[in-house]
A = this chain, B = another copy of it.
Amino acid sequence: MAVAQTLFHTRGYDAVSVADVTEALGIKPPSFYAAFGSKFGLYARVLDRYAGTGAIPLDAILLPDRPVAEALAALLEEAARRYAAAPCTTGCLVLEGTRCNDAEAREAASAFLVAAEAVIRRYIADRHPEDADRLTDFVCTTMAGLSAAARHGHDLDRLLATARLAGLAIAQALGD
């Protein structure tokens, strides 16, 4: 499972073939299909696993007793850190998964994205209801940008600098 997660994260859903997976796992196609059902079946399980291992722990960052602007800035910085943590698995598995060419896989990844957006929006709306929509859009768009930038080769320092600049905008929008 870990190697499959690395494969999908490194190359993306489309670029990983079942043959790649079976070779990496040292199994043959029939064993693969007995275990996971399909390529998408494996991907769905990888997404679940990612939510628990590689994804950003929203609950640990978006704390109720923390200034909203500070929490959102910390979220962006954490994204920068995770997206540049490993040289091969740059960016976000979910965000990158939402743009693959398989409709089923795309929708599965989008479901995780929508769920994360909802958590962020609810957190903001709790104290700044009138800013929740546009700030959620801004945070998620910035995270998508950070994921893309990481894939383009930006290292940790560059991603962090970008995340901090975005944090400035949030602080300003929330009235310092």
Q: Is A152 in contact with B98, judged by CB distance below 8 angstroms?
A: yes
Interface range on chain A (Cβ under 8 Å from partner): 35 or more
Q: In the assembly, how many copies of this chain are there? A: 2
| A172 at the B interface (CB under 8 A) | yes
Q: Which of B12, B133, B149, B166 contacts A166 (CB 8 A)?
A: B166
Q: Which of B99, B137, B143 contacts A151 (CB 8 A)?
A: B99
Q: Which of B15, B135, B151, B168 contacts A169 (CB 8 A)?
A: B168
Q: What B residues does A165 contact at CB under 8 A?
A: 134-135, 138, 169-170, 173
Q: Is A99 in contact with B148, judged by CB distance below 8 angstroms?
A: yes
Q: What B residues does A134 contact at CB under 8 A?
A: 158, 161-162, 165
Per DSSP, chain A at the interface is helix
Q: Is A162 in contact with B137, judged by CB distance below 8 angstroms?
A: yes
Q: Give A96's nearest chain B residue, CB to CB.
A: B99
Q: Is B137 in contact with A141, judged by CB distance below 8 angstroms?
A: no
| A142 at the B interface (CB under 8 A) | yes
- Interface residues of chain A, those whose CB is within 8 Å of chain B, are 11-12, 14-15, 95-96, 98-99, 101, 110, 113, 133-135, 137-138, 140-149, 151-152, 154, 158-159, 161-162, 165-166, 168-170, 172-173
- Please name 14 further chain A to chain B contacts, defined as beta carbons within 8 Å, in addition to the given A98-B152, A110-B152, A138-B165, sorted by A numbering: A11-B101, A12-B99, A12-B101, A15-B101, A99-B148, A99-B151, A133-B158, A137-B154, A141-B149, A143-B145, A144-B148, A165-B169, A165-B170, A165-B173
